[in-house]
């Protein structure tokens, strides 16, 4: 799994992404996901797009709204998330 966060930092492994998400740099009170849209490229590959928001700060900066895109691949009966990117959305 790899991930690019709202600051443009890329994490090439699942361990690195999880470490970033659980670091002490962010204080988040709540989150919301709105307008999710799944697009199936095949029965085993899908792209999820959504608008997200959070009430909180990261490294002293207020978290603004984001547009997120995640790719999912079905392996057996489970959907796995190999890549995601979040970019700041204009308010």
- The answer on pLDDT for 58 being more than 70 is yes
Model confidence at 17, pLDDT cuts 50, 70, 90, reads confident
- Contacts of 65-68 with CB under 8 Å at 24 or more apart are 65/89, 65/90, 65/91, 66/6, 68/33
- The answer on pLDDT for 36 being more than 70 is yes
Q: Domain-by-domain residue ranges, the chain?
A: 2-88
CATH 3.10.450.50 fits 2-88, yes or no: yes
Handedness of CA 13, 44, 70, 22 (dihedral sign): negative
Rounded to an integer, what distance in angstroms lies between the CA atom of residue 6 and that of residue 4?
Answer: 7
If one compares 72 and 62, the residue with the highest pLDDT of the two is 72
């Amino acid at each position: 799994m790899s991930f690019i966060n709202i600051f443009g930092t890329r994490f090439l492994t699942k361990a690195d992404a999880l470490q970033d998400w659980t670091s002490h740099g962010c204080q988040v009170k709540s989150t919301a996901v709105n307008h999710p849209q799944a697009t199936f490229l095949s029965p085993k590959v899908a792209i999820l797009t959504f608008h997200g928001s959070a009430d909180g700060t990261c490294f002293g900066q207020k978290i603004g709204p984001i547009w997120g895109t995640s790719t999912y691949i079905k392996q057996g009966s489970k959907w796995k998330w190999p890549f995601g990117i979040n970019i700041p959305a204009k308010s």
